[in-house]
């Protein structure tokens, strides 16, 4: 049984006669659908005393795949079947012309076949990876993607407010900029801005307390 098969075979009718070959637009539509698919983020976390990992749910994968496929005249079928005592989940992408743009068969792996919940989880697993496979997608760690993105910078209003507070607290500008490794306030990250405002506010309070007359 080939569990990683993707090809352009055509379905047959009940008599075993193959349907006419689809128009070549099937592959163009599939290509356009793939081009429109975004990243599938592994945003669901499982944590146990022994291990911790993230995964994309079946719904996460469907949300990425289905809209582009449907917009291009393609839809997904998923069904289980038994072969030589083993259960498989077949995932196929069907074109409205009747052609099969891609198909794959993933084994449903279950430790205890008498456990209905475990069997359902095994089917969901096979459906999820089958859909990823036929669409040619991989999951991405959302945190890893965000870690590679540049941090957001301070807004103009925040930068102006910080400049005003620097002036009010008589904070040496050069020392302030060196502390944050920048040459101008508008180069600060949003997180740096939050930290700077907190420190400048503290400095203002301390100055006000020092200037207050003793009781």
Alpha helices (H) in 72-155, listed in sequence order: 116-135, 142-148
**Statement: 25-145 belongs to CATH 3.30.390:** yes
**Whole-angstrom distance, CA of residue 16 vs CA of residue 200:** 79
* 36, containing H or E segment: helix 25-36
Q: pLDDT by residue (tens digit) across 58-69?
A: 999 999 999 999
pLDDT value at residue 85: 82
Q: pLDDT by residue (tens digit) across 164-189?
A: 889 988 999 998 988 888 888 888 88
The full set of domain ranges for the chain reads: 25-145, 150-209
Does 48 or 170 have the greater pLDDT score?
A: 170
Does 48 or 143 have the greater pLDDT score?
A: 48
């Amino acid at each position: 049984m080939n569990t990683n098969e993707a090809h352009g075979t055509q379905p047959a009718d009940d008599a075993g006669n193959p349907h006419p070959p689809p128009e070549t637009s099937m592959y163009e539509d599939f290509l356009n659908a793939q081009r429109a698919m975004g990243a599938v983020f592994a945003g669901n976390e499982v944590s146990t005393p022994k291990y911790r990992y993230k995964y994309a749910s079946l719904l996460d994968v469907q949300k990425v795949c289905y809209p582009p496929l449907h917009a291009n005249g393609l839809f997904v079928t998923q069904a289980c079947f038994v072969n030589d005592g083993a259960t498989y989940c077949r995932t196929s992408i069907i074109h409205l012309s009747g052609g099969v743009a891609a198909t794959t068969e993933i084994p449903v792996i279950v430790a205890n076949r008498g456990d209905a919940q475990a069997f359902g989880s095994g089917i969901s697993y096979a459906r999820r990876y089958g859909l990823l496979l036929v669409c040619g997608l991989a999951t991405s760690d959302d945190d890893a993607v965000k870690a590679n993105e540049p941090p957001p910078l301070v807004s103009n209003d925040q930068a102006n407010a910080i400049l005003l507070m620097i002036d009010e607290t008589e904070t040496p500008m050069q020392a302030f900029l060196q502390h944050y490794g920048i040459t101008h306030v508008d180069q600060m990250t949003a997180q740096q801005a939050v930290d700077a405002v907190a420190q400048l506010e503290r400095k203002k309070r301390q100055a006000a307390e020092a200037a207050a007359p003793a009781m």
